[in-house]
Structure 1
């Protein structure tokens, strides 16, 4: 560590040093995880001493399977202690962790492994049982794959969610991860030492990985995955302790909490923080009324992690850039300072150039306050009869209609809407309600009502035309 306390991480080769100093340091009896057994509801605490011991054991297993410093291990595991301990063990060994969502198809996994060539592949020993779970008990199978070192010096390699098209392969260094963890410590409103974080997002993806797992371990925050992925189970997790609790999730999880008919008094509920898609004002207002806590917003990308936050819920729909993050607006698109390309292989200048990541998000930066307003995807701007239409506005307005659970609006030769309902409504009535709120040129030419809108593995609504067309009745 430097004289000012900052952690210096030159690369993955010194994995044990940065993992021990940034993630595993602290009193041995600190509770890192509190796991609830679905069968009987009993609580199982995992303290820091046990976590260190489990990580060392995994490290030995990976070494026996062929993982060497500078090598790579592909982890195809669901959220679990097996995932956590294997991930930390890979990093502590000076290796690169390739994170593959356990819900990917065999074809997707095979393509990723053939391209990235890990030395070791870690998978569940048996198929993962179906069910609404946030955390699993997993026995693992560790298989040797190749003898080649990792192709890059990145500590973690992730696949983007692919909500608007094919996934991208993204790499982040150990130094980059540490910088983001320390960035969280400088954001007002994040959970503090001794508090709890009700962890809902998958740790394979950036919000759950850095904003949940890594920050929680570093800051001494107790991580509490609910027993099941239901509104009642989330409420039970909040109520299971007396210390302040923050719920971390995505808009999908707001719906789960909103489904609880009569939530109990929860004085320990501090706030809910969501990442991913923009949350309509009507949803945030109804949530805040029901639970009496702020619905905080976090904006980020797999490529850079957290970009900005509004944890007090006072700037909606704007956010304030996170400490050390520089955001600019160029021709209506938000760019984020990123010295090197985060993409493995050749870098597309339309995505990264001259030290700036092109987010593909439409937005504006207030020159006086520095607040960033996000207006949705840049490709949501279309021309209809020479008139500009923002598909995000159409989608937002659809979401305000009675009975609408979720909506996706795309341009498929004309404006087309795909809608999921929470209660039965006639299409003609929906269109009549929309006609009262939107000008004719903005309204969808075609409106499809689906039982379930397609979503990515992270819960984001899919906007890929091919997938939507196949899902339509």
Structure 2
């Protein structure tokens, strides 16, 4: 902790949540928070759960828990009360740290300003092993999984980032849009910035203008880290103001729409880099300068193979708490459930989408990823999701104001074979997303959202 994340001159500004925090102040706040956690019952090898929004208080509490030698579980503060209660029952932490009441109008804020509530939980369990970070997967394609990582595992990932010449360095700035309770925002954003000596900045507001204001507020080389949705948001600004400090944007979490990298470069004059990773492993492969899209170069230390069309990655230890199905991890290999191809000459990998996206329609195989990507390229379609629901392919899409569902479906039908065309296409004002910004691929949730709208094509 002290060597990797807290080291550095006292006067170096390392965090900016509205106002700057230097390293000397951060070290003092972490030491004070350790005392408060101890008073609530946290001990070395104890367990704590954080249900907090992005904030200086979150960072201080996380680092204090680790400095105390405890295992820390991160819960997304946007979970419902029922979801949070279920997660706490599942994890049984000894100490719970939450945000107190937040002021009105906080929904679009980039960070939270709220008092901290620390509660001891007498029925909690101590850590059962050496894992120091517990995360829940995003749940975009099914129930969340409990994923555990050791301090050595996190240190190895920080080393991978340190070996990437295009990732932020000392003297640079990171404007972070990704959630800090999930792997890209946590390790690639927060922990790497502390480790590398870059200043981590959260925008005052998560609007397009708010993000650009955060970029323009500093003169040091600035990298924006987010999800593809954020890149689309910025690309939609027809005439953005000059951003001379911006050196690149990096996104991860889901596949990027084909036209977005070039459109982003035309708007801002810098590359849109892409990353592929998983909560179980962190960063796996990257294309940070945007020149190889959609191909990605494996990160240092990872061994990747493709078996039966599915990407497998070497992982000696089981990354999940509790029992795990053999189709997720077995014999030292993590099964990603992503379809992929690896170039035998360059070693670069192209992730094609979820392997379980192949369905059968009338005995004919249809790849939902292929149809979805084609639909995204149809004029008038700004975003879409395809699911196989009750024996039929169904599409849900965000459309521009000039395009009807019938027109979008007709344009798609002109580009693909008839048996691949979705039986229905429903237009939604906004597609449901997970707390991390990924498109929700639950047929039930999409059906419920669609049933609230008027009948579509």
Normalising by the smaller structure, the TM-score range is over 0.9
Quote the residue 1:460 is aligned against. Answer: 438
| Match of residue 415, structure 1, among 384, 393, 397 | 393
* Secondary structure at 1:122 match in 2: strand
| Match of residue 85, structure 2, among 105, 110, 120 | 110
Q: Confirm whether residue 55 of structure 1 aligns to residue 30 of structure 2.
A: yes
| Match of residue 250, structure 1, among 223, 227, 246 | 227
Quote the residue 2:340 is aligned against. Answer: 363
Query: How much has 1:259 moved relative to structure 2?
Result: 3.1
Query: How much has 1:115 moved relative to structure 2?
Result: 2.0
How far apart, CA to CA, are the structure 1 residues paired with 2:262 and 2:236? Answer: 15
Query: How much has 1:128 moved relative to structure 2?
Result: 6.4
Q: Deviations over 1:133-182 (max 9, x none)?
A: 11111211100002641233211101100001111111111110111011
Quote the residue 1:442 is aligned against. Answer: 420
Give the stretch that moved more between structures: 441-450 or 95-104: 441-450
Q: Confirm whether residue 69 of structure 1 aligns to residue 51 of structure 2.
A: no
Q: Is the 8 A contact 1:188 1:311 kept in 2?
A: no
Q: Kindly report which structure 2 residues correspond to 1:135-214, keeping only aligned pairs within 5 A, or say none.
A: 135-146=111-122, 148-214=125-191
Q: Deviations over 1:74-131 (max 9, x none)?
A: 1000000111000000000000111000011111111211221111000112156442
* Secondary structure at 1:172 match in 2: strand
How far apart, CA to CA, are the structure 1 residues paired with 2:450 and 2:103? Answer: 29
Give the stretch that moved more between structures: 261-270 or 85-94: 261-270
* Secondary structure at 1:396 match in 2: helix
How far apart, CA to CA, are the structure 1 residues paired with 2:256 and 2:262? Answer: 10
Give the stretch that moved more between structures: 122-131 or 241-250: 122-131
Q: Deviations over 1:383-431 (max 9, x none)?
A: 2333332111111111112222210011121211111123242122112
Quote the residue 1:39 is aligned against. Answer: none
* Secondary structure at 1:419 match in 2: strand
How far apart, CA to CA, are the structure 1 residues paired with 2:90 and 2:362? Answer: 45
Quote the residue 1:80 is aligned against. Answer: 55
Counterparts in 2 of 1:172 and 1:278: CA distance versus 1, 3 Å? same
Q: Confirm whether residue 32 of structure 1 aligns to residue 14 of structure 2.
A: yes
* Secondary structure at 2:131 match in 1: coil
* Secondary structure at 1:255 match in 2: helix
Q: Is the 8 A contact 1:231 1:258 kept in 2?
A: no
TM-score where L is the length of structure 2? 0.96
Q: Is the 8 A contact 2:248 2:272 kept in 1?
A: yes
How far apart, CA to CA, are the structure 2 residues paired with 1:171 and 1:156? Answer: 6
Q: Is the 8 A contact 1:116 1:151 kept in 2?
A: no
Equivalenced residues, count = 448
* Secondary structure at 1:364 match in 2: strand
| Match of residue 403, structure 1, among 359, 380, 386 | 380
Q: Is the 8 A contact 1:117 1:150 kept in 2?
A: no
How far apart, CA to CA, are the structure 2 residues paired with 1:128 and 1:370? Answer: 50
- Gaps of at least 5 residues in structure 1 are 1-18, 37-43
How far apart, CA to CA, are the structure 1 residues paired with 2:154 and 2:441? Answer: 29
How far apart, CA to CA, are the structure 1 residues paired with 2:400 and 2:184? Answer: 27
TM-score where L is the length of structure 1? 0.93
Could you list the structure 1 runs, at least 4 aligned residues long, displaced by more than 4 angstroms after superposition. none
How far apart, CA to CA, are the structure 2 residues paired with 1:139 and 1:369? Answer: 51
Quote the residue 2:455 is aligned against. Answer: none
Q: Is the 8 A contact 2:102 2:112 kept in 1?
A: no
How far apart, CA to CA, are the structure 1 residues paired with 2:51 and 2:296? Answer: 34
Q: Deviations over 1:442-468 (max 9, x none)?
A: 211111111221110001001111111
* Secondary structure at 1:33 match in 2: strand
How far apart, CA to CA, are the structure 2 residues paired with 1:226 and 1:394? Answer: 36
Quote the residue 1:279 is aligned against. Answer: 256
Quote the residue 2:301 is aligned against. Answer: 324
Q: Deviations over 1:56-77 (max 9, x none)?
A: 1110000000000000111000
* Secondary structure at 2:76 match in 1: coil
Counterparts in 2 of 1:414 and 1:295: CA distance versus 1, 3 Å? same
* Secondary structure at 1:253 match in 2: helix
* Secondary structure at 1:181 match in 2: helix
